[in-house]
């Protein structure tokens, strides 16, 4: 089925100047960028976005990292977009990410891991709504 997923290019990858290289991978795999914006997240933006991880031991480091510089946020649309994007990204820990994935090629650590992608349909809906009102999403 055609799905939408939320993608974030994290501060490490923005600082490395590889937004375009990552966008190329989305486009080459048939995913369409139907909304995008660059934003420097505030502490409360990051805490809200990652609220599901609030009790995890890595939460404070995660928020600190995600607010360390601007991020590029986009909605990707296409056939099985959620899985397709997760396959492109590779494992959360870049040391475990398969060769040729975004994280294997651009990430430095489990915190500075270049990209985020929604993990399920329901999550995608909530995450997209965090950043984009419906009228700023341009499908077809």
Binding footprint of ligand CMP on the chain (CB under 6 A) = 53, 58, 62, 92, 110-111, 113, 116
Task: Please identify, using beta-carbon distances, which residue of 44 and 92 lies nearer to ligand CMP.
Answer: 92
Q: Does residue 10 have a known ligand-binding role?
A: yes
| Beta strand residue intervals within 51-102, DSSP E | 71-79
Q: Which one is catalytic: 107, 116, 124, 131?
A: 116
Distance, in Å, from the CA atom of 110 to the CA atom of 58, rounded to the nearest integer, reads 10
Task: Please identify, using beta-carbon distances, which residue of 92 and 139 lies nearer to ligand CMP.
Answer: 92
**Is-catalytic flag, 53?**
no
In DSSP notation, 31-47 reads: -EEEEEEEE---HHHHH
Distance, in Å, from the CA atom of 70 to the CA atom of 42, rounded to the nearest integer, reads 10
Q: How far is the CB of 41 from ligand CMP (least distance, A)?
A: 12
Q: Does residue 113 have a known ligand-binding role?
A: yes
Note every long-range contact of 119-125, with CB atoms under 8 Å and residues 24 or more positions apart, other chains counting: 119/82, 119/86, 120/82, 121/3, 121/82, 124/3, 124/4, 124/5, 124/6, 124/82
Q: How far is the CB of 140 from ligand CMP (least distance, A)?
A: 28
Task: Please identify, using beta-carbon distances, which residue of 110 and 137 lies nearer to ligand CMP.
Answer: 110
Q: How far is the CB of 30 from ligand CMP (least distance, A)?
A: 22
Residue ranges for the binding site for ATP? 10, 58, 86, 92, 103, 113
Which residues carry out catalysis? 116
């Amino acid at each position: 089925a055609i799905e939408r997923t939320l993608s974030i290019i994290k501060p490490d990858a923005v600082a490395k100047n590889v937004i375009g290289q990552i966008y190329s991978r989305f486009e080459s795999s048939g995913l369409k960028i139907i909304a995008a914006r660059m934003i420097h997240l505030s502490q409360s933006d990051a805490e809200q976005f990652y609220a599901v991880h609030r009790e995890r031991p890595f939460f404070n480091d995660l928020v600190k990292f995600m607010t360390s510089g601007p991020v590029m946020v986009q909605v990707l649309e296409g056939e099985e977009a959620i899985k397709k994007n997760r396959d492109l990204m590779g494992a959360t820990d870049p040391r475990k990410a398969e060769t040729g994935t975004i994280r294997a090629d651009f990430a430095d650590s489990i915190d500075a891991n270049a990209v985020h992608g929604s993990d399920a349909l329901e999550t995608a809906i909530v995450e997209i709504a965090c950043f984009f009102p419906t009228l700023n999403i341009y499908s077809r």
